Structure 1
């Protein structure tokens, strides 16, 4: 993709028949360069050179010359490289292969959802010109490949890279489908979608907090994005990408502070969630080293901002949504109509009100109350599987499935006002209008409120039994080191590991503490520098053998010195109470 900075440059470089497409070539209108983002603490590696037969050498020379002439590759001095070799296809022709297996293993995975091909093809009707996708500046050296002549790096995206199909799909979603991910948004009426500039909300708002001396002490960001991220291979579910963004920002401001012990506080809050997914450019598998919300907040914090100052006031009420109704500006009285969950063969995007599965039609009445005619009409044409109906509270056995009474809060900081509540836009407007007078400087009294919801905690049913007891191996005690650290020095990128006799972590979840620390010897005293809340550490407990393995991946920039790993646990005897213990590895050196 050719990107040009100025209009004059465009007219000089681009052929006349492309002049009508000037906006397509601008950097401002296209940001989907192919990024090669490595996992934190990855180790760079080189590779061997494969010998080539005479015929293969000729093919390689032709490939290199063709791609050099077309500016698809260029010579490189990269510190890492991937090998190349030839494979013979079924027709006998030779195919050059860049073997990116090692590189792909240390790349952050992009799990972009793939739009149905026929949808994209329909949107390509009438297209005349197509383009290639460039590798992002600063990442080109990472995809360098080694030949028997010299090193070459990619200038455009090759499909041997792990994220190439996903990034290509993202590009198609952005250009062809106008950035629609997920495609469910297209099911909304055209009149609804026409009200917005984009098919996704791309705006982040950040409120910065300064102390009386003008020093920045924290931020509160607002962005509509689903809080859960799921890896494509289902090996990890992260339920708090906003929490990770907060950690990244706080550690960026105070890199030497332990998580949760910073003087700068970063808050990444939810905004107006409608059609949201974890990323506006597709479902990316985020590693701890990168978070788009963190980067976006940094951009906003460094940009122009409007001052916020004045009175701080708040208001809080409860609203029983099962009985709540209000009047629209046109005089119509309405109430909330909330979705229940879809499952099994209730197909996404299918608005059929016909029976989807006779089995569920038979048994759903035994699980939740059958929907009333008013509910069916409210959800039409969508069918109702389970009549839990969020905010309405129709299912109460064995306890309430969903809340019917919700919190409504408003906070005013000078000329900045926040409304926090579930519901639709019309509900927001109605509540905002009724509550905002109580935020005035001279306001008195409190607004009417429904009763607070009943606490359901004591009614929760758990099928998980408690810990029976813990048992250490013969002649071993809890905390004993089974596999110790190495005696040879470690370096940045290395993984330090130690295994201990452990106990069930459910004995004490240590929510305000830690299962481990990485300690550094400073002036003769051990100082904890990492805990289990830091992305560079892992804690693994294995049921049965009851062993605990602690690892620490040494980050770049870690101070040289003497370190150790400490493990903290709690054991439960057959008779008696739970007691705490600890284990400490031998000291090791980082150099």
Structure 2
């Protein structure tokens, strides 16, 4: 063995910019109408001897089994058994401003205007493309592991629940947040070629009133590092010299909204906050590279188990009370419907501070009639028996994968849910004690391979805040996951294979209701597609916002994946050169319906401080669809303007 080989790949996974309900906040009125930043999948292949691991970090709200199954099936067609459920981890950054509708479980398509086949395909196609590029990029690479702390990019949004934990847990997090930043860095011939950074904060700097697709704070951190390292043109069909992913860990109760109000903290501007919280993660990651850096040694390993979490028997050594217990069927609590107030309220009539009707009915009727439900779910105010509904209509997945990855001394516990920091601490302690690792080298990789909502400690669960109400399988869910993690860790330590079992049934063949077909495009009266409606002013300075509007077409006609809806161009001696597109933080692309079949598109650019003086113009690229379904591409160009 000569060391590690690593391959890196990146690809566009942006879904529908129009009419798609965004996933994360669960607000049906939050429907996409444009793009602030495109969404990317970043894939990393690790090879050591004959062992291989694949980690894919996707800038989307959630990972579902629908995405995992489709990606793995495509990879099997392309690569055979090189990438399977046993050695592949697909995880989400959990932006709440990405188009949804890509699940095969109805719960997650209820507010997205149905199943969105185009968004599903964009995610799968892009993730597979990123893996193909990573596989082709495989080369000898030096890996280092670095750590530091970041104290001003997260706050505990559920302190009442956190404070119920025992003292030995709370004292581990004296500020009630998890400040650890972990960076897995990659070098070739003394040049940095990639990094994966784990830090616990929600990707919710953008609020539930934003309707532009956004990769949020973690996406900005990735974008900034990649653009700083190289003037990356994401639209070229290649792998750039440096790829940076900012991945999630146990961020279940961690909010970036430092003032504990949506869009507030450190400023009252959600766009500025997205950039600031992203920059703080970037700064911490680059700082970590100068502190506590160690070579990664020891090879690769992985274990995966598919487990049915409903009715799972948990042994006394994991429950905390010395007794065996069983998890319950998946049932949301009334507090879950209330939402997390620091990041965005849920539905009217529900509260994180108690829901008398549901609490009373559950306590005085349901729990009295069913001792097993009382043991597994009390004191949750039960709302809907998702487990029973699953027998007729698939609402919430019950059988999910739990993973353990080893990259040298780094261990990643792949959990298909949102894990609070103390729940994460207990999972990490469980694994670290068995494999003999330093606790700091064991991380929870949340939002991986599926979605079961939240994972709280039994003590936090008792508080029945948003996170506890969203712990679908009840009070003993975390102990069950600890027991499973212990099984994986023991097998890995002992070099024993595990029978990973069968995954949940594949639901891809079921018919799904999607959005109605959009009408054929019509240009506004007296105009052609691409005509400029409003022009920029003649002169601008850095910091100004340049805007032009055009006669447009329906954006979903062609998602322009790997392409762009807009360009900012500068006049040079060689001609017009593109300096920004719809993947840049400084640009926005917004679509509005005009009449029944007309469209108006706004292209905007906030001029960066380092913009060179000169002559510029904005361009818009669209695709009009006629009644026969034929697409006709067109381009609109603004008047020129100067920057002084």
Q: Fold match, TM over 0.5?
A: yes
Task: Mark the CA change 1:498 to 1:213 in structure 2 (over 3 Å): closer, same or farther.
Answer: same
Counterpart contact for 1:325–1:333, Cα < 8 Å:
yes
Counterpart contact for 2:304–2:488, Cα < 8 Å:
no
1:204 aligned to 2:180?
yes
| Equivalent in the alignment of 2:289 | 301
Shift of 1:556: 0.6
Q: What TM-score do the two structures reach when normalised by structure 1?
A: 0.59
Of 548, 553, 556, 2:609 maps to 556
Counterpart contact for 2:156–2:177, Cα < 8 Å:
no
Of 561, 571, 574, 1:524 maps to 574
Task: Mark the CA change 1:286 to 1:525 in structure 2 (over 3 Å): closer, same or farther.
Answer: closer
Counterpart contact for 2:156–2:255, Cα < 8 Å:
no
Counterpart contact for 2:303–2:492, Cα < 8 Å:
yes
Counterpart contact for 1:320–1:450, Cα < 8 Å:
no
Task: Mark the CA change 1:326 to 1:394 in structure 2 (over 3 Å): closer, same or farther.
Answer: same
CA distance in 2, matches of 1:205, 1:221: 7
| Equivalent in the alignment of 2:641 | 588
Of 553, 556, 579, 1:503 maps to 553
CA distance in 2, matches of 1:296, 1:483: 42
| Equivalent in the alignment of 2:226 | 250
Shift of 1:515: 1.0
Q: Residue deviations 1:290-338, cap 9 Å, x none?
A: 1243333233234332332231233333222225334243774443356
Counterpart contact for 1:226–1:278, Cα < 8 Å:
yes
Aligned length in residues? 400
1:467 aligned to 2:453?
no
Query: What does 1:67-106 align with in structure 2 at a 5 Å threshold?
Result: none
Shift of 1:281: 6.0
Q: What secondary structure is seen at the aligned counterpart in 2 of 1:229?
A: coil
Q: What secondary structure is seen at the aligned counterpart in 2 of 1:297?
A: helix
| Equivalent in the alignment of 2:372 | 374
1:213 aligned to 2:189?
yes
CA distance in 1, matches of 2:156, 2:314: 33
CA distance in 2, matches of 1:457, 1:371: 37
Task: Mark the CA change 1:232 to 1:547 in structure 2 (over 3 Å): closer, same or farther.
Answer: closer
Shift of 1:503: 0.6
1:314 aligned to 2:318?
no
Task: Mark the CA change 1:229 to 1:329 in structure 2 (over 3 Å): closer, same or farther.
Answer: same
1:476 aligned to 2:462?
no
Q: What secondary structure is seen at the aligned counterpart in 1 of 2:294?
A: coil
| Equivalent in the alignment of 1:39 | none
CA distance in 2, matches of 1:537, 1:587: 17
| Equivalent in the alignment of 1:103 | none
| Equivalent in the alignment of 1:92 | none
CA distance in 1, matches of 2:287, 2:159: 28
Task: Mark the CA change 1:503 to 1:238 in structure 2 (over 3 Å): closer, same or farther.
Answer: closer
Q: What secondary structure is seen at the aligned counterpart in 2 of 1:216?
A: strand
Task: Mark the CA change 1:245 to 1:546 in structure 2 (over 3 Å): closer, same or farther.
Answer: same
- Superposed structure 1 runs of 4+ greater than 6 Å apart: 232-237
| Equivalent in the alignment of 1:241 | 217
Counterpart contact for 2:162–2:176, Cα < 8 Å:
no
| Equivalent in the alignment of 2:253 | 275
Of 624, 627, 635, 1:571 maps to 624
1:387 aligned to 2:385?
yes
| Equivalent in the alignment of 2:500 | 449
Task: Mark the CA change 1:548 to 1:279 in structure 2 (over 3 Å): closer, same or farther.
Answer: closer
CA distance in 1, matches of 2:541, 2:315: 67
Q: Residue deviations 1:459-490, cap 9 Å, x none?
A: 4754632211110134422112223334x343
Of 318, 340, 348, 2:332 maps to 340
Shift of 1:193: 5.7
Shift of 1:243: 2.1
| Equivalent in the alignment of 2:243 | 265
| Equivalent in the alignment of 1:114 | none
Q: What secondary structure is seen at the aligned counterpart in 2 of 1:469?
A: coil
Query: What does 1:4-403 align with in structure 2 at a 5 Å threshold?
Result: 181-185=157-161, 188-189=164-165, 191=167, 194=170, 196-198=172-174, 200-231=176-207, 240-254=216-230, 256-258=231-233, 262-279=240-257, 282-283=260-261, 284=265, 285=270, 287=272, 288-291=274-277, 292-329=280-317, 332-337=323-328, 340-342=332-334, 343=337, 344-350=348-354, 355=358, 372-388=370-386, 393-396=387-390, 399-403=393-397
Counterpart contact for 1:477–1:501, Cα < 8 Å:
yes
Task: Mark the CA change 1:371 to 1:562 in structure 2 (over 3 Å): closer, same or farther.
Answer: farther
Q: Residue deviations 1:17-73, cap 9 Å, x none?
A: xxxxxxxxxxxxxxxxxxxxxxxxxxxxxxxxxxxxxxxxxxxxxxxxxxxxxxxxx
Q: What secondary structure is seen at the aligned counterpart in 2 of 1:211?
A: strand
Q: What secondary structure is seen at the aligned counterpart in 2 of 1:304?
A: coil
Q: Which has the higher contact order (CA 8 A, sep 6+)?
A: 2
Task: Mark the CA change 1:588 to 1:514 in structure 2 (over 3 Å): closer, same or farther.
Answer: same
CA distance in 1, matches of 2:214, 2:535: 30
Q: Residue deviations 1:424-460, cap 9 Å, x none?
A: 55344323332235546x946x411232223445547
Counterpart contact for 2:196–2:244, Cα < 8 Å:
yes
| Equivalent in the alignment of 2:485 | 432
Moved more, 466-475 or 425-434: 425-434
Shift of 1:230: 4.7
Q: Residue deviations 1:128-151, cap 9 Å, x none?
A: xxxxxxxxxxxxxxxxxxxxxxxx
CA distance in 2, matches of 1:523, 1:458: 55
CA distance in 2, matches of 1:425, 1:199: 23
| Equivalent in the alignment of 2:583 | 533
CA distance in 1, matches of 2:242, 2:553: 35
| Equivalent in the alignment of 1:33 | none
CA distance in 2, matches of 1:345, 1:199: 32
| Equivalent in the alignment of 2:406 | 412
Counterpart contact for 2:314–2:326, Cα < 8 Å:
yes
Q: What is the root-mean-square deviation in Å for CA atoms of aligned residues? A: 3.8
Counterpart contact for 1:560–1:590, Cα < 8 Å:
yes
CA distance in 1, matches of 2:156, 2:303: 37
Bigger proportion of residues as strand: 2
Shift of 1:197: 3.7
Counterpart contact for 1:371–1:387, Cα < 8 Å:
no
Shift of 1:378: 1.7
Moved more, 283-292 or 488-497: 283-292
Shift of 1:537: 0.8
